[in-house]
Amino acid sequence: MKTVVAAAIVRDQKLLLAQRSYPDDVAGLWELPGGKVEDGEAVSVALEREIAEELSVRIGIGRGVGEPVVLRDNLILVARHAWLVEGEPVAVEHSAVTWVSAGELGAMARAGELVPADAVWLDDLVALLGES
Ligand code: CDP
């Protein structure tokens, strides 16, 4: 079982979403940015690395958000609360990045604009935005 880790980056009660550019079945949908943990790599180190590669920023990492989601092909997806430490996010590998409020996130989920696995975390993400 491999782990994929994604960041729920929050600033000013808004969540950062990134728009996938590939593969075709999820291209155009929005996700929490992240990627696969390499063998022997700590989850938080993997998340810092993936976010630096994908968004050109450094993040701080906190607690887990929501329950792990089992993806197809032996992948397990986990999310962690995160915040910007250095830089402004740039869409290096994604089509775009955006900041959304809890209300906007709910509307996007209802419209089917989130990747399916991340949509499972809607209530957890809304709660996280309410706390921050
Ligand atoms: O770039 P890397 O191959 O490390 O990872 P990825 O392609 O971004 O993600 C690996 C798998 O996790 C893909 O199947 C993505 O669709 C899925 N994923 C997801 O469902 N939700 C996320 N927030 C991030 C990745």
State the maximum Cα–Cα separation within the chain, in Å, rounded to a whole number.
38
Distance of CA 17 to the CA centre of its chain: 7
Mutate to test the pocket of ligand 1, among 4, 26, 32 (most ligand atoms within 8 A of CB): 4
The C-alpha atoms of residue 128 and residue 120 are separated, in whole angstroms, by: 14
Q: Where are the alpha helices (DSSP H) in 1-132?
A: 43-55, 102-110, 116-119, 122-131
The CA 104 to ligand 1 mean position distance, Å, reads 23
Closest ligand 1 atom to Cα of 72: 14
Give the model's pLDDT for residue 72. Answer: 85
**What residues line ligand 1, using a CB cutoff of 6 Å?**
4, 6, 26, 31-32, 34-36, 71, 75, 77, 115, 117-118
Question: Which residue in the block uniquely carries the two structure tokens 């696995």?
Answer: 117
Mean pLDDT per 10-residue segment, the chain (132 residues): 97 98 97 98 98 98 98 94 98 98 98 98 98 80
Give the model's pLDDT for residue 103. Answer: 98
Residues whose CB falls within 8 Å of the CB of residue 115, separated by 6 or more in sequence, listed in order:
20, 26, 29, 30, 31
